[in-house]
Structure 1
Amino acid sequence: MSDDTFIENETACDCCDWVNTIPPMQHNERLRCERCKHPIVTVSKKTAQLLLANSSAAIVLFALSLTYEFLGFSSNGITQQISLWDCINALLIEHFTALGAIVSVTLVVLPLIYLFSILLLSFSLIVKSKHHRYTRWLLLSLETIQPWLMVDVFMLGGLVALVKLKSLAEVSLGVSFWAFAAYTFLLIRTVCYVDKRWLWNQFFGQSEKIDIKQKASSARNQGLIGCQFCGALNPSTNRTCSRCHHVIMSRKPASLKRTIALLIGASILYVPANLFPIMNTTFLGTTEHSTIIGGVLLLWALKSYPVALVILIASVLVPIAKILSLFWLCWQYHFATDLPAIKKQKIYHLTELVGRWSMVDIFVVAILSALVQLGTLMNIVPGIAAMSFCAVVILTMLAAMSFDPRLVWDISEETKVDESES
């Protein structure tokens, strides 16, 4: 099969469960769902070559970003320089081990697994060696890892840390900083070119042909299940997907219960995350405790208004908005309003998109605690709220993943049936 084309059977939309017929697609074409307009598949020209070039270049740049100086800090004749690895090591060994483990996994382990997976898969496509034991597992891992890639969030955290440090001392940017910036750009490009349906189609061909009884209907109403991993349609009697062999279900089991439980946990942890200090700064023997709001006020006082707004939105407003939005979406399943399902779906996607950016404050703390270690003159360490806030971000992300947006369309369909019967 040419990498410029895409020939597939019907598929169910991941967001609304609508059965869509996929026409033969050429390069630079995108197919959207007929009902909710969510992108289903995108076919780019020379996708395999682009994936190979971007992933391999990103890996090289990441290796360079670990090798040289990342940031430099000078105050009263005392100079401190750190590498990217020092940021992680400072948390793992000197401060919060659990927090350091989370940062290292999201910043190093998962991105490298993702990039090497893309590298192997794209190379296999180019040399036309598609049938390996590891192929299926690599494809399945991509969908799981992608939401947890935090490299771009860390880059924003680095810029925020620079603004904070400029008020205290002279800051210099090392070679690794620019290498990491280029690595971030290439990783984002790689993610943009990854399309799960296209990859499964290239490696394992078309999914099994299913007889569609109703053209304009959801998969569930036709006794079908759309696989959330490869996009293949399966009879509802199947327990595993006929193409990717992953366990399939018509809807996520106990979706609302798990979402609400995770949101309650995030709401509880959000209180200590804001009441207690997220960062402790010691200067000439005097220790100052800084909360999240305190950090925003400090940046505002320094006239760094754009950065203060970024932290306010990402660390204060986004977690609250995400918790309230998901609670509201769960409420809508039992007490639906007149708001169209497509608008509820947009609210969900926006909530899912912005959630991980709240990690920016954690990365700022990680960078500052590694860089500002000047003995008795000045040092910065994470506060006890850092772990609580990190847990809030993770729990809200898991809550968004647990929520099944297809439930929004299910209740919309039931409402329409009730209205037609009455």
Structure 2
Amino acid sequence: MVRKRAPAQQALALAIAAVVALVTSLAFPFISFSARGLERAISLTDAMSTLSTGNYIMLAVVLWMVLLLLPMLYLGMVIVIHTAFLLGRRPPHGMLMLRTLRHIEHWMMADVFLIGVLVSLVKILSLASIGFGVSFWAFCLFVVLMLLISRSVDRDWLWNVMAPEPAPPAHARTGRTAQSQKLVGCPVCSTVNDYYHHKACYCRRCGEKLHMRRRHSVQKTLALLLVSVMLYIPAMTLPIMTVSSLNDTTTQTVIGGVLLLINHGDYPIAAIIFLASVVIPVAKLMALFWLCLKVGRPQPWRPEVRMTLYRITEFIGRWSMIDVFVVALLAALVQLGVLMHVSAEPGIIAFGSVVILTMIAAMSFDPRLIWDAADHPDLENNDISTLSPQPVVAGKAQDTGP
């Protein structure tokens, strides 16, 4: 493994720059909309607060969490941790912060929101003139910086500085599964730990609670998937937004919005919406159902393929939030009274719930069950207690094998 050069300085500089970009994106107009002599400009907080009225308060809370609160929490912890290391000090509650960094990363969706903004602009470009404020460009910079930070934060280095990796238990042997030796890998810091069935077990390095296998993992995943399927029907059939003007009032469903874009010749945007709102949710539901069914049966056929399918499923789920962000932005921006206005409809609640529930379902599924179902012959029984610890990517120990 190649260690990044000056990992603390690089991550700290990027995190401070990202905070400045985010604060700037909140302080100025984000985007403006003008039609027939009337103009409206909104800030980024307006776009996030649109759904906070009426029955959409829970969805608005989700938007605030994934677009503002979690990124700020993430950046704050990155700054505190790396500043402490540069000063030669141990960061306060450092173990807790490092564990939290891993858990919240998947829920930050600034990049998905930016794609939603671009899709929204294409939808209304033929109706009005669009202007970009200072905040829009600051937010674009923020998205780029967040992507760079996710690559620059060296978790293995952070854990080794915080708490050097301990040697594996003396009785650990290669060629045998961890489960058969009552060993379990920490999903956060990758440390190999002894596991005791009769009491709660915690990682001896980072303090994360450990499970040999997540209790009722398949049952919880299937329950979440069934609820998602039931919600997906109203998500596709109920309108997600209403567009009103002097001459007409129309409601749009998810599929209706795709067909409207096709009729206007916006084929690339129609393809993005169809992929994010129809293909990805359905594919994710089918993939997770299939994985849940397969783990209950011995299947020696290529578990690494099913592992890859799980990782893809876990990664793509959040991109379905594009349609939710599109509706939130249009409902905030297009408010010109009787001349033209857009309002959110109940379908968007059902759709947003489907996206969130399928993300939780993917996290509830224990990928180690994939390897349990595979028929692996035992290899030679070698002693690993004398081997020096090898750097591992944080969070891989739990899903790379049994």
TM normalised by structure 1 equals 0.86
Aligned partners of 2:54 and 2:266: how far apart in 1?
Answer: 30
- Is it true that 1:203 corresponds to 2:162 in the alignment? yes
Say if 1:75 and 1:170, in contact at 8 Å, map to a contact too.
yes
Aligned partners of 1:95 and 1:83: how far apart in 2?
Answer: 22
Q: CA shift at 1:387, angstroms?
A: 0.6
1:405 to 359, 367, 373: 367
2:82 to 122, 135, 155: 122
Q: Which residue of 2 aligns with 1:282?
A: 244
Report the residue type matching 2:78 in the other structure: I
- Is it true that 1:367 corresponds to 2:326 in the alignment? no
- Is it true that 1:254 corresponds to 2:216 in the alignment? yes
Runs of 4+ with >6 A deviation: none
Aligned partners of 2:298 and 2:285: how far apart in 1?
Answer: 18
Q: Which residue of 1 aligns with 2:261?
A: 299
Q: CA shift at 1:285, angstroms?
A: 5.8
Aligned partners of 2:177 and 2:31: how far apart in 1?
Answer: 53
Listed as ranges, the matches of 1:23-422 within 5 Å are 25=1, 29=2, 43-93=3-53, 96-132=56-92, 134-211=93-170, 213-237=172-196, 239-284=201-246, 286-337=248-299, 339-413=301-375
Aligned partners of 1:270 and 1:338: how far apart in 2?
Answer: 33
Aligned partners of 1:211 and 1:67: how far apart in 2?
Answer: 57
Report the residue type matching 1:156 in the other structure: I
Say if 1:285 and 1:376, in contact at 8 Å, map to a contact too.
no
Q: CA shift at 1:208, angstroms?
A: 4.5
Aligned partners of 1:217 and 1:109: how far apart in 2?
Answer: 44
- Comparing 83-92 and 196-205, the one that deviates more: 196-205
Say if 1:167 and 1:302, in contact at 8 Å, map to a contact too.
no
Q: CA shift at 1:405, angstroms?
A: 1.1
Larger RCO of the pair (alpha carbons < 8 Å, separation 6+): 2
Aligned partners of 2:99 and 2:297: how far apart in 1?
Answer: 36
Say if 2:81 and 2:91, in contact at 8 Å, map to a contact too.
no
Secondary structure of the 1:413 match is coil
Aligned partners of 2:175 and 2:364: how far apart in 1?
Answer: 27
Aligned partners of 2:330 and 2:294: how far apart in 1?
Answer: 42
The structure-2 alpha-carbon separation of the partners of 1:131 and 1:99, relative to structure 1 and needing over 3 Å to count, comes to closer
Say if 2:298 and 2:375, in contact at 8 Å, map to a contact too.
no
Q: Which residue of 1 aligns with 2:390?
A: none
CA deviations 1:224-282 (Å, max 9, x no partner) are: 11111221111113711111122111111111011101100100000000000011111
Residue correspondences, number: 375
Say if 2:236 and 2:347, in contact at 8 Å, map to a contact too.
yes
Aligned partners of 1:130 and 1:82: how far apart in 2?
Answer: 42
Q: CA shift at 1:191, angstroms?
A: 1.3
Gaps of 5+ in 1: 1-24, 30-42, 418-422
Gaps of 5+ in 2: 379-402
Say if 1:210 and 1:233, in contact at 8 Å, map to a contact too.
yes
Report the residue type matching 1:228 in the other structure: P
Aligned partners of 1:127 and 1:369: how far apart in 2?
Answer: 47
Aligned partners of 1:264 and 1:54: how far apart in 2?
Answer: 41
Aligned partners of 1:108 and 1:189: how far apart in 2?
Answer: 18
Aligned partners of 1:254 and 1:371: how far apart in 2?
Answer: 45
Say if 2:4 and 2:154, in contact at 8 Å, map to a contact too.
no
The structure-2 alpha-carbon separation of the partners of 1:95 and 1:88, relative to structure 1 and needing over 3 Å to count, comes to farther
Secondary structure of the 2:349 match is helix
Aligned partners of 2:316 and 2:168: how far apart in 1?
Answer: 37
Secondary structure of the 2:39 match is strand
Report the residue type matching 1:114 in the other structure: Y
Say if 1:208 and 1:242, in contact at 8 Å, map to a contact too.
no
Secondary structure of the 1:381 match is strand
Q: Which residue of 2 aligns with 1:33?
A: none
Q: CA shift at 1:213, angstroms?
A: 3.8
Report the residue type matching 1:350 in the other structure: I
- Give percent identity, aligned residues only: 38
Q: CA shift at 1:210, angstroms?
A: 2.1
Aligned partners of 1:146 and 1:298: how far apart in 2?
Answer: 34
Q: Which residue of 1 aligns with 2:382?
A: none
Report the residue type matching 1:359 in the other structure: M
Q: Which residue of 1 aligns with 2:383?
A: none
Secondary structure of the 2:188 match is coil
Say if 1:281 and 1:380, in contact at 8 Å, map to a contact too.
yes
CA deviations 1:29-88 (Å, max 9, x no partner) are: 2xxxxxxxxxxxxx3221111110111100100000011111111100101111101111
Aligned partners of 1:89 and 1:343: how far apart in 2?
Answer: 42
Say if 1:91 and 1:97, in contact at 8 Å, map to a contact too.
yes
Report the residue type matching 2:359 in the other structure: M
Secondary structure of the 2:366 match is coil
Aligned partners of 1:213 and 1:139: how far apart in 2?
Answer: 27
Say if 2:85 and 2:91, in contact at 8 Å, map to a contact too.
no
Say if 1:315 and 1:361, in contact at 8 Å, map to a contact too.
yes
Say if 1:95 and 1:381, in contact at 8 Å, map to a contact too.
no
